[in-house]
Structure 1
Amino acid sequence: MIDIHCHLLPAVDDGPETVEQAVEMAKRAVSEGVTAIVVTPHAFHPQFDTSQLDVSNAVTRLQNVLRQEGINLDLYTGQEIRIFGDLVESLEQGKALSLAGSRYVLVEFPSDSVPAYAEQLFFGLQTEGYTPVIAHPERNKEFATNPKRLMDFISSGALSQITTSSLTGEFGQNVKELAFAFLRNGLSHLIASDAHSTGRRTFYWTEVEKVVREELGQDKWENYVVNAEAIMKDEFVFIDPPTLPTKNWRGKWKK
């Protein structure tokens, strides 16, 4: 299992505070079947100033610690990038990083909205050969009330990534149901932990594999595993045509 979204670097953002905590996170990941992690500290986020962070150097240092500890986990560089107007230029200049040096760029929206310029920005990214990956759309209020907004992004070539803790109900039942609705309808194509610690914001891979197999089937689970591998290898991610989720008469997302 490859985890393409994880806050593993110590003392950087809202992830682990110490190297020891980062090592414990790595041990937890391995115990749940993770073999590689794309390390994605926050970037261009108003709450976390990581502008002076050398991600490559920090990841190399942590990788060396894990090797010394005998932890068999491969680390790759990335960022969770809060959407901003100069993203394309920052990628070209190396100030912003794609996932594991691939064409795929992990983009985060504010939790309560989708900026009006997002479509134009995504078009610019795709024109330059990048593929936007929308982080945790199930936790975005605008997508929750208007899933067609997400469908328009996906129909135009973007991907999106659901968080494991959403699928286990850590963010509440409504978020869980929306996450599964996005997966069922081809609006989300990747699952990642977005882990920050060994506490509540942890990996949940063991539980998620079980619940996804039960809800969506073995083939779907294997697709998400393959898709994560494709991201890391910079290969094409094949997706089904997206459909718009609908609700039943009780206001629940249809299965």
Structure 2
Amino acid sequence: MVDIHTHLLFGVDDGPKTVEESIEMIRDGMKLGFNEFYLTSHYNKGRFCNENYDENYKILQKKCEELKLGVKLHKGNEVYLDENIEKVLKEKKFNVIKRKFLLVEFSPLTPVSVGESCLKKVLKAGFVPILAHVERYGNFRGSDLVRLRKLGVKLQVNIGGEKPRHIVRLLKEGFIDFLGSDAHGVEKRGYTAGEELKYMKKMTTFNEIKEEDKGNEKKQPANGVFNSFFRSLLTGIKFGGDS
């Protein structure tokens, strides 16, 4: 099972400080059934800019191999969408998932029009945005999120915590593409949502399309269509993965 939204990489953002804590978090994730992790550290220009990312990634990867944990690690980032986004997209100093998918977020208070504009810029730049923890954006109704999805935006919900009614409905109706842990630490926002994970897995049902069908959103049924790439990511689980 794959976790596409984590802050497991030590010494890069507001996640773990040491490689030992990263390892402990990975072991906790394994207890829930995860064996593959995308290390989507925050990328926020002026605050978190992937300092030490590559070096610490290699250290963590080597440590996992030495301990024979049998897990797969992948690079990634959670890119913050704000007034700097055009410059950030132009510089391309962030890590992309599978060459084109980009985990993104914006402020929970972001107006719908502003958020949609930012996401369109990501799409225009040639990336497929995965909007992280959509349950957090208080100004976005279910219909707003469905509209974003029709534009080509993928939607991600965090596993733990109570969810607004419109998010529960979107889960049941198959509009949510991914679940993810958004794990930040061992004691704070860690892998403690086992029961929620079981519940959400029962709520979601997904169809699949081939990757060459991308862009045919109008032809897709409204119950969680996703690319064949996502199928390979989610082996053994029928759904896809805060700041």
TM-score by length of 2: 0.77
Distance change in 2, residues 1:115/1:196 (3 Å) = same
Q: Structure 2: how far apart are the matches of 1:55 and 1:28?
A: 22
Q: CA deviation at 1:204?
A: 4.2
Task: Give aligned pairs, total.
Answer: 221
Q: Structure 2: how far apart are the matches of 1:154 and 1:52?
A: 28
Q: Structure 2: how far apart are the matches of 1:234 and 1:199?
A: 42
Q: CA deviation at 1:61?
A: 1.7
Distance change in 2, residues 1:149/1:242 (3 Å) = farther
Q: Structure 2: how far apart are the matches of 1:161 and 1:52?
A: 22
Q: Structure 2: how far apart are the matches of 1:70 and 1:95?
A: 31
Distance change in 2, residues 1:202/1:242 (3 Å) = same
Q: Structure 1: how far apart are the matches of 2:164 and 2:196?
A: 11
2:130 aligned with 1:138: no
Q: Gaps spanning 5+ residues in structure 1: where?
A: 170-174, 244-255
Q: Deviations over 1:191-242 (max 9, x none)?
A: 011011222412246323421244x26xx2xx49x89xx9xx9996996427
Query: Which residue does 1:8 correspond to in 2?
Result: 8
Q: Gaps spanning 5+ residues in structure 2: where?
A: 225-243
Q: Structure 1: how far apart are the matches of 2:90 and 2:45?
A: 19
Which residue of 119, 125, 133 maps to 1:122? 119
Q: Structure 2: how far apart are the matches of 1:88 and 1:240?
A: 32
Contact persistence 2:3–2:36 (CA under 8 A):
yes
Matches within 5 A, 1:183-198: 183-198=171-186
Contact persistence 1:151–1:242 (CA under 8 A):
no
Matches within 5 A, 1:52-67: 53-67=51-65
RMSD of Structure 2 on Structure 1 (CA): 3.2
Contact persistence 2:112–2:139 (CA under 8 A):
no
Q: CA deviation at 1:190?
A: 0.5
Contact persistence 1:103–1:234 (CA under 8 A):
no
TM-score by length of 1: 0.74
Q: Structure 1 residue runs of 4+, over 6 Å off?
A: none
The secondary structure found in structure 2 opposite 1:38 is: strand
